[in-house]
């Protein structure tokens, strides 16, 4: 039977993705195929929330003083979007392959309610909630059930009709496997509307959509229905960043995308992401990416 790496490479060949460097939206909503031809040096990136499964290659993720390592046969659970630094490694010159799976909020809440119901009946043991908030990136090894579901997902991706019909149900199973896994509490906490983790997650949604606006910590704390000091503490526990540090990294990553993918000039990109001072933008851009806006696209 083919392993995950073989199936992912087969999918890349089928869809003519053998030169892809980045993500490819599959026919299954919320599921992207990822491929990189080679490893990469440590660089700032913005990871979106969801589940990432690696079939081939290895990566190191750095968040503050934490380093998360994951590779072939591992998966990540990301409760919230995270600005971080990442380095990637190719094994034996082979491409890095993986899947990126969004966690739909409706599916998440349905599964959490069903799991809680079964747990109340004594039919299921769920991951215990941790008393302290966790930073939002965790690495785990695929167990047999999770591996089986992922294998089936990649197999149906080989057939367009099966992907459209069968794919969403398999994605739901994968979310379930993540929920009952070692770090399922991250997703459980997201589903608890009044919990601090879910409140911070909603604030992060605001930051990712309104990053170009004038945003104060007081405004964000009010949105989370928390005191400024309590919000600041909870925000750092979840993201390992202060709110303003997090916002700055969002703006810089968005500006880089505008410069690299849309060909915007640095001054225009700075304005579009919320900077009022071009010189400040240039300084912070160079400090963050170790390159100037002019050289980042060269």
CATH number at residue 217: 1.10.10.60
Same domain, residue pair 200 and 165: no
Same domain, residue pair 218 and 92: no
The pLDDT assigned to 296 comes to 81
Same domain, residue pair 59 and 16: yes
Q: State the number of CA atoms in the 13 A half-sphere of 239 facing the CB.
A: 33
Give yes or no for a contact between 199 and 221, defined as CB atoms under 8 angstroms apart: no
CATH of residue 140's domain is: 2.60.120
Closest CA to 141 of 187, 72, 95: 72
The pLDDT assigned to 255 comes to 96
Q: Is residue 71 part of a domain?
A: yes
**Which of 156, 182, 208 marks a domain boundary?**
182
221-245 pLDDT, tens digit per residue, is 999 999 999 999 999 988 888 999 9
Q: Is residue 189 part of a domain?
A: no
What's the first-to-final CA gap in the chain, in angstroms?
Answer: 44
Closest CA to 190 of 102, 260, 273, 122: 102
Same domain, residue pair 148 and 201: no
Q: Is residue 121 part of a domain?
A: no
Same domain, residue pair 268 and 227: yes
Q: Is residue 190 part of a domain?
A: no
Sole residue written with tokens 């170790």: 290
The 3-state DSSP composition of the chain as helix, strand, coil percent (nearest 5) reads 45, 20, 35
Q: Is residue 39 part of a domain?
A: yes
Number of domains in the chain: 2
The pLDDT assigned to 108 comes to 92
Same domain, residue pair 177 and 275: no
| Residues shown for the chain | 298
Same domain, residue pair 24 and 80: yes
Q: Is residue 207 part of a domain?
A: yes
183-216 pLDDT, tens digit per residue, is 788 888 888 877 888 899 999 999 999 999 999 9
The pLDDT assigned to 131 comes to 44
Answering whether pTM is above 0.75, one says: yes
Same domain, residue pair 32 and 167: yes
Rounded distance, CA 37 to CA 30, Å?
Answer: 23
Instruction: Tell me which long-range contacts 223-232 makes (C-beta under 8 A, separation of at least 24).
Output: 224/199, 224/200, 225/199, 226/196, 226/199, 231/203
Rounded distance, CA 286 to CA 276, Å?
Answer: 17
Same domain, residue pair 43 and 145: yes
DSSP, res 3: -
Rounded distance, CA 57 to CA 71, Å?
Answer: 6
Q: Is residue 116 part of a domain?
A: no
* 225 CB-contact burial (10 Å; exposed 0-12 / middle 13-18 / buried 19+): exposed
Strand partners, 46: 83
Same domain, residue pair 255 and 162: no
3-state secondary structure of 238: helix
pLDDT in tens, the chain (298 residues): 469 999 999 999 999 999 999 999 999 999 999 999 999 999 998 888 899 999 999 999 998 778 889 999 999 998 888 888 999 999 999 999 999 999 998 999 999 999 988 877 666 555 555 544 555 577 899 999 999 999 999 999 999 999 999 999 999 999 999 999 887 888 888 888 778 888 999 999 999 999 999 999 999 999 999 999 999 999 998 888 899 999 999 999 999 999 998 999 999 999 999 999 999 999 999 999 999 998 886 5
Same domain, residue pair 169 and 49: yes
Same domain, residue pair 31 and 158: yes
Q: Is residue 223 part of a domain?
A: yes
Domain containing 211: what range?
A: 196-289
Rounded distance, CA 289 to CA 295, Å?
Answer: 10
**Which of 148, 182, 216 marks a domain boundary?**
182
Token readout for 278 is 């071009």
């Amino acid at each position: 039977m083919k392993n995950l790496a073989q199936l992912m490479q087969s999918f890349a060949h089928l869809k003519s993705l053998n030169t892809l460097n980045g993500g490819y939206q599959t026919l299954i909503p919320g599921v992207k195929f990822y491929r990189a031809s080679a490893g990469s040096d440590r660089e700032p990136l913005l990871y979106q929330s969801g589940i990432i499964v690696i079939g081939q290659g290895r990566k190191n993720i750095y968040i503050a003083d934490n380093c998360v390592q994951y590779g072939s046969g591992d998966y990540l659970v990301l409760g919230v979007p995270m600005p971080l630094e990442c380095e990637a490694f190719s094994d034996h010159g082979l491409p890095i392959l993986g899947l990126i799976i969004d966690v739909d909020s409706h599916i998440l809440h349905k599964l959490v309610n069903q799991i809680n119901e079964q747990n109340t009946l004594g039919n299921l043991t769920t991951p215990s909630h941790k008393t302290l908030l966790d930073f939002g990136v965790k690495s785990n090894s695929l167990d047999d059930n999770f591996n089986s579901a992922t294998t089936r997902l990649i197999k149906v991706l080989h057939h367009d009709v099966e992907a459209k019909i069968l794919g969403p149900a398999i994605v739901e199973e994968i979310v379930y496997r993540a929920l009952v896994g070692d770090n399922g509490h991250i997703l459980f906490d997201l589903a608890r509307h009044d919990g601090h983790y879910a409140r911070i997650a909603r604030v992060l949604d605001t930051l990712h959509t309104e990053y170009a606006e004038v945003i104060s910590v007081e405004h964000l704390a009010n949105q989370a229905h928390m005191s400024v000091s309590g919000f600041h503490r909870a925000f750092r526990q979840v993201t390992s960043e202060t709110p303003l540090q997090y916002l700055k990294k969002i703006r810089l990553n968005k500006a880089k995308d505008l410069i690299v993918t849309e060909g915007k000039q640095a001054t225009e990109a700075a304005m579009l992401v919320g900077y009022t001072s071009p010189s400040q933008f240039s300084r912070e851009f160079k400090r963050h990416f170790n390159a100037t806006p002019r050289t980042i696209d060269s």
